[in-house]
């Protein structure tokens, strides 16, 4: 259902507001350069500081601009189950192809609570649900056994974006879940290793600036050209490292500003980069051939 390089797209701001025209341009840029899906309102899209109205509008704009050329997987998670259901229903009504559901943050539910949370959301809509496991952000890990139970009990929970960084855990997910359940990398630096254990692609941050290379890496692996996939993996690695030198999406949005792709505006508490890290980012962009 989902595969390849799926971009976790930034939300461009201008003078404190969502820059709707620029957002449309970024969607077109992604589709023209091989991205096979778009995730609005994820971590990279600064969903935590969007108002409900902005959240709904960003998803609507991207669905309209994508126009069914690639699937739109709307980030509609929350640490409140009722809020997550509300956002997911809105996205489904707007025409989203799927929903990305982050595990509830801050309140740190038990595995039982996680199961009941995701099941309630899945039962509220007909669109596919992709779980998003990122304990480094949320404070709670969705255990493989919980994912397997959800995949078995909820027909529309079809995949997981795994950003634990733990390949052993990801292998257990593949082992325990039904064969149709999809594993998607949530870490740009682990795209190739995740593909090697049965993953189907990446929900990518760095694809915001180099979508073609990320898409080509996945495509090369799928076509059996492991050498080319490895070459792209190692080409991308220094840029990926620079893209996470500070909390995402600070570096990638800063890079997009340097490259003239959008304003580098961030919403507090996200702030501009430390000068020493900015220089490292500039060097990585220059070494990659993106910045003169």
Which residues are tagged catalytic? 132, 161
**What distance lies between CA 126 and its chain's CA centroid?**
21
**203 beta partners:** 6
Query: What phi and psi, each to the nearest 5 degrees, are found at residue 273?
Result: -70, 150
Q: How far apart are CA 272 and CA 123, in angstroms?
A: 40
- What CA–CA distance (Å, rounded) separates 199 from 185? 7
Beta bridge partners of 14: 17
Residues in the chain, total: 292
Tell me if residue 78 falls in helix, strand or coil: coil
Q: Give strand ranges (E) for 41-179.
A: 73-75, 98-102, 129-133, 157-162
């Amino acid at each position: 259902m989902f595969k390849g390089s799926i971009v976790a797209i930034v939300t461009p701001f201008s003078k404190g507001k969502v820059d709707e025209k620029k957002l449309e341009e970024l969607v077109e840029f992604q589709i023209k350069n091989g991205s096979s899906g778009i995730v609005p309102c994820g971590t990279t899209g600064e969903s935590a500081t969007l108002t409900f109205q902005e959240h709904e509008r960003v998803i609507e704009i991207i669905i309209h601009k994508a126009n069914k050329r690639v699937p739109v997987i709307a980030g509609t998670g929350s640490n409140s189950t009722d809020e997550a259901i509300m956002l997911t229903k809105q996205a489904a009504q707007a025409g989203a192809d799927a929903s990305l559901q982050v595990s509830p943050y801050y309140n740190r539910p038990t595995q039982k609570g996680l199961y009941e949370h995701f099941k309630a959301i899945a039962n509220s809509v007909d669109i596919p649900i992709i779980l998003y496991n990122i304990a480094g952000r949320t404070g709670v890990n969705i255990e493989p056994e919980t994912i397997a139970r959800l995949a078995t009990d909820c027909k529309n929970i079809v995949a997981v974006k795994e950003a634990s960084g733990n390949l052993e855990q990801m292998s257990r997910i593949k082992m325990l879940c039904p064969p149709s359940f999809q594993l998607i990398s949530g870490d740009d630096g682990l795209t190739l290793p995740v593909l090697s254990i049965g993953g189907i692609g990446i929900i990518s941050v760095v694809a915001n600036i180099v979508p073609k290379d990320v898409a080509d890496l996945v495509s090369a692996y799928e076509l059996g050209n492991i050498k080319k996939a490895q070459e792209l993996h190692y080409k991308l690695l220094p840029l990926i490292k620079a893209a996470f030198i500070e909390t995402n999406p600070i570096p990638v949005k800063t890079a997009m500003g340097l490259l003239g792709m959008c304003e580098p505006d961030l919403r507090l508490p996200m702030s501009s980069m430390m000068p020493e890290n900015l220089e490292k980012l500039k060097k990585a962009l220059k070494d990659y051939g993106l910045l003169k």
